[in-house]
Structure 1
Amino acid sequence: MFDIGSGVWHITYLDMTIRILIALLLGGIIGFEREVNNHAAGFRTHILVCVGSATIMLLSIYGFGEFAGESNVRMDPARLAAQVITGIGFLGAGAIIRTGSFVSGLTTAASIWVVAGIGLCVGAGFYYVAVLVTLLVLVSLFVFQKWEKYILRKYRRHEMNIKMYDHQGTLGQIVEELDEQGIQIHELLVQSNNKTEEKSKTIIVRLSVKLPRENKIVSAINRIYNFEDVLSIEISNLFNLSKKLN
């Protein structure tokens, strides 16, 4: 009742069910971390990718077992699996968002790709590698994330966008304030908002900066935000402040 034929190209219904459930569990564990941190692809997406990959792996190995005995048929269990690795890229591309020079979603895209690999391992009965990789992914997402923020915060560049009125001297004050707080400016670009009225003419100042300790960042932002000509300040992944205009 629970057997689909016999031999290496066949599998029981019970074993198929176990593999699909394990894929659901492992994919859900990684997806839960993404969901908690409000990323584009979360709990359900990772479950679907992992279960789908396991399903395709099962199909690739056992779905054509009835033809294994034919003299002119060659079985290639890796063929459909290879298409999963190639095709999963469309989900990863959908999770990547670019805002100016700041790119987000790369880690989520990579987690989707890894979860597809985990699903393929489970579908092939390669349980040890599937569980090991799941644990390593969780360590990377939880532990390495905190380590990365702590160790690399002094070396990472952020994009700062300041919207302000185009009045003489204000930009110089902003640059001076950033320098006093130890914020290093690597690039500076001024873009006009193309306003026709001189009084309401605004510009957007885009700066690529390296940020020091958090208290220095807060102090600099508070001082610059209080400048009369500054309308809004945005720092990639950190701050987004704007003034309400009458």
Structure 2
Amino acid sequence: MTELDWPEILLRLGAATLAGCAIGLDRDLHGKPIGLKTLGIVGLSTATIVLLTVQFAEPGKITDAASRVIQGILTGIGFLGAGVIVHESRRFRVRGLTSAACTFLAACLGIICGTGQWRIVLVALTFALVLLTIGRSVERWLHRALGGREDPHQAETLPKTGGREGS
């Protein structure tokens, strides 16, 4: 049995909360239905459960019981993500997939923080924030460069000029 001390518990739970909040802040800044508080709580709650299972394992090992707990967490998070998608569905369009993926990522980061694997947390969070920050611009550029179909979200927001400039 591994007994974690207070500083280690605070570090793991704090890192999981901050990682979830960082992902949630991006969602908040983009006006999405799931944000800083929700994803911070997702990270915190998953790390809390993983810490509990780590307490009963040998140092540095994930037991079968811990593995089953992690699998259960990820299944439950799938339902939360599905709720985000269904909530955002309008006019037979699928919306909210990025927010659902961010929910799943916040849960994964919480699990990883719970196990104390800091390098994995740092790299995953960095990649996620870069992707969330520049992903849309890169996607648009690649569509134009590779001749992909027009982004339907962009077409809805463009002003209609009737084909003539300045008329």
The two structures have a TM-score, normalised by structure 1, of 0.56
- Among 10, 21, 40, the residue aligned to 2:3: 10
Counterpart Cα distance in 2 of 1:128 and 1:38: 30
Could you say which residue in structure 2 is the equivalent of 1:100? 91
- 8 A Cα contact 2:77 2:104, kept in partner: yes
2:116 to 105, 122, 125: 125
- In structure 1, the gaps of 5 or more residues are 1-7, 69-73, 160-209, 223-246
Could you say which residue in structure 1 is the equivalent of 2:72?
83
User: Which consecutive unaligned segments of at least 5 residues does structure 2 have?
Assistant: none
Distance 1:36 1:221 in 2: 33
Match of 1:40 in 2: 33
Q: What does residue range 11-30 of structure 1 map to in structure 2 within 5 Å?
A: 11-30=4-23
Tell me which amino acid in the other structure corresponds to 1:86. T
Q: Give how far 1:13 is off.
A: 1.8
- Correspondence list, 1:126-141, <5 A: 126-141=117-132
Structure 2 partner of 1:219: 161
What is the CA–CA distance in structure 1 between the aligned matches of 2:9 and 2:98, rounded to whole Å?
Answer: 30
- C-alpha separation between the residues in 2 aligned to 1:131 and 1:101? 37
Deviations 1:6-27 (A, max 9, x none): xx52211221111111111111
With the length of structure 2 as denominator, give the TM-score of the two structures: 0.81
Partners of 1:108 and 1:135 in 2: how far apart? Answer: 17
Is 1:61 aligned with 2:84? no
Q: Whose helix proportion is higher, 1 or 2?
A: 2
1:158 lines up with 2:152 in the alignment = yes
Distance change in 2, residues 1:13/1:102 (3 Å):
same
Measured on the aligned residues, the alpha-carbon RMSD in Å equals 2.5
Structure 2: which amino acid aligns with 1:141?
Answer: L
Q: Mapping of 1:206-245 within 5 angstroms?
A: 211=155, 214=158, 218-220=160-162
Matched residue SS, 1:88: helix
SS in 2 for 1:99: coil
Distance 1:144 1:85 in 2: 25
One-letter code aligned to 1:100:
R
Rate the CA distance shift 1:219–1:75 in 2: closer, same or farther, 3 A.
closer
Q: Post-superposition shift, 1:148?
A: 1.4
Which of the residues 134, 142, 145 maps onto 2:136? Answer: 145
Taking every aligned residue pair, what percent have the same amino acid on both sides? 27
